[in-house]
Amino acid sequence: MIRSKIFLAFALIISSVSCKAQMLPLNTILKNIPQGSYLKDLNNELNPYLGIYVANYQGNEIKLHITKEENKLEKSTDKTYYMDALIIKYTVKNNSGIILQDTQNLTNSTNKIHSIGIRAYENSVSLYYSGTNCRVGWGKIILRKLNSTQISWEYRPNSTVLGDDCPANADKTVYLPVTKDLIFTKQ
């Protein structure tokens, strides 16, 4: 008898917690997202971008490692919600094979790239880049799926201005290719 009451209480708690988050399509407009909602990749629109992609730009090899994070916490100025998102970690090597930048093992907020929206009708996904040290180069990246093995890259940095609190010895170089229509090939 006690077990059944404990089980019933546990079931009610779980169901009340799970009912609070409203599940919405991934491409829901920000102003239409209720507090605490979950933007779910219901149609697997992010999956075609997953994998490792490589391109060469101005003598550097750029390798993108694209994964999907489910239920990623997002905070805007007036609400908190969750969403499925693409996460990009990357490695940039020069033509001598020397690693210029590698974000594979970073866990802090520097050099983070994650998706913020998808336009399935354009075969594209928009991503936010937090910038390198001192947020230099923060901005928007757009990936377009060209076919099953290629994506097109466009990077639009918003700022290359340094804050007053940036250490003088910090590497402020933006190693990502600032260009449009760069083709990455899936490995």
154-187 b/e (C-beta count within 10 Å ≥ 16 → b): bbebeeeeeeeeeeeeeebebbbbbeeebebebe
Interior angle at CA 155, CA 150 and CA 156, nearest 5: 155
> Over the stretch 17-55, which tens digit does the pLDDT of each residue have?
444 579 999 988 888 999 999 999 999 999 999 999 999
Chain centre distance of CA 106:
14
> Over the stretch 53-90, which tens digit does the pLDDT of each residue have?
999 999 999 999 999 999 999 988 889 999 999 999 99
Q: Among residues 67, 181, 78, which one has the least CA distance to residue 124? A: 181
pTM of the entire structure? 0.83
